[in-house]
Every structure is written in C-alpha cells, then in structure tokens.
C-alpha cells in the first residue's frame, strides 16, 4: 500500500498547489479571504442536509487545504480540526486559516493513523467529495470515524456514487461502464497530467490509484463500527464535471444532459453514535 499512497500523495501535493492558486476558479481562495460575501460556499446538497453547526466541535477528515473546514468555522462551529495526508495541503490550510483570521487546527497524516495523531472526540465528523476512493480499507475507515464521535455525535458523509465511478470520465456520450462497481483489493491505476480545477495546469505526477466501495459495503462498515444510520440519500447530481458531457446546474453541481437516463451520481449518509 505504501507505493499507492506515496504516488497519490505526490499527485495531491501538486493538485494542492494548483487548487490553492488564484488561477483556480473552482476554489476561489482570494474571494474566500475577502470575506463571506462572494466567497464559494458549501454545495447545495450539504447546505440542505447538514443543518446548523453552531457550537459544534467538528473533525473534517481528508480536508484538502481546509477551505470547507474553515467554512464550517464561519458558520458558527465551536472548533474545527482538519486532517489530510498531503503536507502541501496542510501547510496551505494553516496559512489560509491565519490569513482569514479563523482559529483552526490542521493535522498532517494518513487517515488510518488519525487516532494516534488527534486527541479527543467530536460532535460532528464531516467527510465530503472525493474521499473514500483514495482508501483501500472501508472497514478501517469506518472504525476511524466511529472512534472520533462523541456519544450522540453525528457523522455526515457525501461523495460521488460508485455507479458514477464505473464510467470512463473522458469517454464520449453515450458509453457503457468500463470499471467494476464492486470493490477489489487491487486499485485502479489512472494516468493523467490534467488538474481538475485549472485546465491550463500540467502535473508532473501522472499515476494515481483509486478503489471503489459499493454503497452496501460503506453502510455495513458504518453499522459494524457501531453507528446507527439515520438516512441514505442518492442524487442525480455531483460536485464536479465527472463526465466530459455533464452540464452545470444549480448549487454548483453537475448532472447528465436532458434525454439521458437519470443515474445516481452522488449519495449522502447521516449516522449517529449511540448514547
């Protein structure tokens, strides 16, 4: 696994540099630093489902350079902590928090090592967009989530649907699935030098590795870790142009064009740790 994690880390170090730059319209760091008005917000789905975070202690796993972590702080969280495996992203997160004048803690490390890196428990563990596809062990992930929840605490998860991951994102419309829906221990290897948030950027690290995790395995892993599922929602939208022919829609999301079948493109889970 070290080989896969290292390659992914190198790629995400480069992506962090691109995404943090002023040229990245997807993130808009400059607008964020200019204040809440006009800055990028959470996507429509999170805003509708998350509810108030006022007064909560929040842990954001796989936080990238922490913009969403800091958005949660701006929405009234009592404390925010972010974890990411990219040292570049964590350096940027700390810089962004300082520039924005927001108190936050950012920790560098592999998700599976989080219980040894972060103390305490939280009211909300938050995981969204482009996360578990980088992880080989969904059961271990679920145990980490449960470890950090206070009794009665909530886990909120939102990510791309594994059905979407079965398609080739660069194939023309229409096309058939090319990758397995079901999990395999061996990752899928992808080669590419493009950066999703800046079409002009060219990355040096070509190869990355991803794993698929069926919805049923994710839900079962959370239940086995001791959590109670409150809901599972599926959506025909996703937070980025995951397929070349997708069209933008409200709330900063994308969907398939009119006339194509409606497929699940993302899904959310809310779960609680019993009192």
Predicted confidence at residue 37, as pLDDT, reads 66
Distances in Å between the Cα of 272 and the Cα atoms of 149, 229, 247 are: 8, 7, 35
Model confidence pLDDT, tens digit, residues 157-181? 999 999 999 999 888 877 889 999 9
Q: Are 9 and 85 in contact (CB under 8 A)?
A: yes
pLDDT-based confidence at 80, cuts 50/70/90?
very high
Please state, in angstroms and rounded to a whole number, the distance separating the CA atoms of residues 35 and 37.
Answer: 6
Over residues 21-28, mean pLDDT: 71
Neighbour count for residue 263 (Cβ, 10 Å): 14
Which position has the higher pLDDT, 234 or 252?
234
**Which of 198-202, 217-221, 244-248 tops mean pLDDT?**
217-221
Neighbour count for residue 171 (Cβ, 10 Å): 13
Q: Is the dihedral of CA 262, 211, 132, 62 positive or negative?
A: negative
- Single pTM value for the model: 0.95
Model confidence pLDDT, tens digit, residues 116-127? 999 999 999 999
pLDDT-based confidence at 38, cuts 50/70/90?
low
pLDDT-based confidence at 40, cuts 50/70/90?
confident
Is the pLDDT score of 36 beyond 80? no
State what percent of residues in the chain have pLDDT above 90: 82
Largest CA distance in the chain: 50
Provide the mean pLDDT of the chain: 94
Q: Which of 188, 170, 193 is nearest to 10 (CA)?
A: 193
Predicted confidence at residue 25, as pLDDT, reads 62
Please state, in angstroms and rounded to a whole number, the distance separating the CA atoms of residues 229 and 219.
Answer: 8
Please state, in angstroms and rounded to a whole number, the distance separating the CA atoms of residues 97 and 65.
Answer: 10
């Amino acid at each position: 696994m070290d080989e896969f994690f290292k390659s992914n880390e190198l790629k995400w170090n480069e992506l962090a540099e691109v995404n943090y730059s002023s040229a990245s319209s997807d993130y808009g760091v400059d607008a964020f630093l200019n204040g809440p008005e006009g800055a990028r917000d959470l996507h429509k789905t999170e805003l509708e489902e998350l509810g108030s975070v006022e007064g909560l202690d929040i842990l954001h796993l796989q936080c990238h350079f922490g913009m969403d972590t800091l958005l949660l702080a701006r929405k009234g969280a009592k404390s925010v902590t972010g974890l990411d495996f990219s040292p570049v992203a964590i350096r940027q997160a700390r810089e962004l928090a300082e520039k924005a004048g927001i108190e936050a803690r950012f920790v560098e490390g592999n998700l599976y090592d989080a219980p040894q890196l972060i103390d305490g428990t939280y009211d909300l563990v938050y995981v969204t967009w482009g996360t578990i596809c980088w992880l080989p062990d969904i059961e271990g992930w679920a145990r980490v989530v449960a470890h950090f929840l206070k009794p009665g605490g909530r886990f909120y998860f939102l990510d791309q649907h594994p059905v979407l991951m079965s398609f080739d994102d660069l194939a023309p419309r229409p096309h058939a699935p090319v990758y397995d829906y079901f999990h395999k221990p061996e990752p899928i290897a992808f080669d590419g030098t493009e950066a999703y948030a800046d079409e002009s950027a060219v990355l040096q690290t070509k190869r990355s590795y991803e794993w698929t995790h069926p919805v049923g395995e994710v839900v079962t892993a959370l239940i086995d870790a001791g959590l109670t599922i409150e809901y599972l929602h599926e959506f025909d939208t996703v937070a980025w142009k995951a397929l070349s022919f997708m069209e933008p829609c409200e709330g900063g999301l994308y969907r398939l064009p009119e006339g194509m079948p409606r497929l699940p493109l993302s899904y959310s889970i809310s779960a609680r740790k019993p009192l």
